[in-house]
Amino acid sequence: MADQENIPALLRVLNGERLERPPIWIMRQAGRYLPEYRELRTRAKNFLDFCYSPALATEAVMQPLRRFPLDAAILFSDILVVPDALGQKVWFVEGEGPRLEPLIGQQDWRFGETEKAIQRLAPVYEAVERIKAAIPKDTALIGFAGAPWTVATYMLQGRGGDKDDARMEVYRRPEDVDALLEVLIETTAQHLAAQVKAGADCLQIFESWAEGLPPQMFQRVVIAPTRKLVARVRELGVTVPIIGFPRGAGAQIGAYAHETQVTALGVDTQTTADQAREAAPIGMPIQGNLDPLTLVVGGKALEDAAQDVLIAFRHGPHIFNLGHGITPQATPENVAKLVNLVKGGV
C-alpha cells in the first residue's frame, strides 16, 4: 500500500482527494517577475535557445522552488516549440511576443513530420529528466503543451493578439484547418507522452485562446481536438492525470469538462467556484483561480482575494493557482505572502 505521505499533495488532489489545505503552484512561476530569472535569461541569445538548453531550463524551474514552498514544478518550455520542431519559423521579439511565418496567405500549408519533430525536441525531454532529478520528492513535476487550436492560431496568424484571422480561416478553409489540427494532435500527443516517459508526474494542456468562439466552432476546434488529443495520449500508454485549462471558455466550460476526458479542470479568473463545480463532472479536481493582478497590488486586496478563492473552492478537490499566468509586474514578496497564506500561515 502506498504511503500517502510520500505522494505529492498535487497528485493526491488530482486523484480526487480533498485536502484541508490545497496544494499550490503558479502558472509561469518561473518567469520575469523574478530578478534571478531575468539574469538567467541573458545567458541564452534568444528565448528558444533558452528553452532548448536543459541546463538553463532546469535552473529556471529551480528558482521559484528555492524561494517558495510550492507543491509543483512545471517544465520550463513554450507551447511554440511544437511548430518550431515541425519546421515552421518561430522567433521571439523582445517585449512583443512570438512571431511565426504565418500559414495564412500561403497557398499550400506544409507541415513537418511528427517523428522528426519529436527527435528535434530531445532537449526538452532531457530537461524533464534533469528537473525530475533536481526537485524534492514531494514536489510534483508537471509537463505541458498548448492545445491544438491555441497552437494553430499562432501558426495561422504568425502572432498573438485577437484571433479574428484564424477564426476566418476556419470559415474559409475548414478542411485545411482540420488537417492542421490533426498534425498538431498527433505531434502534441507524442510530445506529452515523451515528457511523461522522461519523468513528468502529470500534464497540463493550455487552451489559451478558447474565448470568443461561436458554439459550433468551439466544438470543432477546441472540444473535438482536445478529446482526440487526450484519447491519443492514453493510447500511447500514458496514465498520469491531465489538467485541461480552457481560458476564456465562459459558459462552455461544462461541455469542455464533460466531453474532453481531461482529469481536472483549470478555471480562469472570471469563473466562479460554484459555476465550475456545477459545470464539471462530480468530484472532478478543479484548479484556479486567483486574479494574477492581486500579486501586483498586494496588501489587503491580495489577502481578501486569496481567502475568497480558498473558501469558494473548499467543498471539493482543489488546486490553488491563478486564473491566468503571473505578470512580470508581480513581486516575489507578494508571491511569498500568498504561498504562506494558502499554506495556513498568517
Which residues in this chain contact its own copies in the complex, by CB under 8 A?
164, 167-168, 171-172, 211-218, 248-253, 268-272, 275, 279, 289, 291, 293-294, 296-297, 301, 305, 308, 323, 327
Which residue number, 46 or 272, has a Cβ lying nearer to its own copies? 272
Which residue number, 236 or 312, has a Cβ lying nearer to its own copies? 312
**Considering only CA atoms, which of 70, 79, 64 is closest in space to residue 33?**
64
Which residue number, 17 or 274, has a Cβ lying nearer to its own copies? 274
Report yes or no: 211 and 252 within 8 Å, Cβ to Cβ. Answer: no
The least CB distance from residue 8 to its own copies, in Å, is 28
The least CB distance from residue 250 to its own copies, in Å, is 3
Which residue number, 97 or 215, has a Cβ lying nearer to its own copies? 215
The least CB distance from residue 49 to its own copies, in Å, is 29
What's the N-to-C CA distance of the chain in angstroms? 35
CA distance 264 to 318: 9
Reply yes or no on whether 78 is catalytic.
Answer: yes
Longest Cα separation, the chain: 60
The least CB distance from residue 291 to its own copies, in Å, is 5
Reply yes or no on whether 164 is catalytic.
Answer: no
The least CB distance from residue 271 to its own copies, in Å, is 6
The least CB distance from residue 248 to its own copies, in Å, is 8
From the candidates 12, 28, 130, 220, give the one annotated as an active-site residue. 28
Q: What share of residues in the chain are helix, strand, coil (percent, to 5)?
A: 50, 10, 40
Q: How far is CA 133 from the centre of its chain?
A: 22
Reply yes or no on whether 125 is catalytic.
Answer: no
From the candidates 52, 125, 154, 256, give the one annotated as an active-site residue. 154
Reply yes or no on whether 314 is catalytic.
Answer: no
Reply yes or no on whether 178 is catalytic.
Answer: no
DSSP, residue by residue, 276-304: HHHHSPTT--EEEEE-TTHHHH-HHHHHH
Which residue number, 205 or 293, has a Cβ lying nearer to its own copies? 293
Alpha-carbon torsion angle 229, 223, 276, 326, nearest 10 = 60
From the candidates 12, 33, 78, 247, give the one annotated as an active-site residue. 78
CA distance 167 to 152: 10
Which residue number, 8 or 246, has a Cβ lying nearer to its own copies? 246
Residue entry with cell 465562459 = 250
Q: What are the Cα distances from residue 120, in Å, to 112, 117, 259?
A: 11, 5, 32
CA distance 165 to 317: 38
Catalytic residue numbers read 28, 32, 41, 78, 154
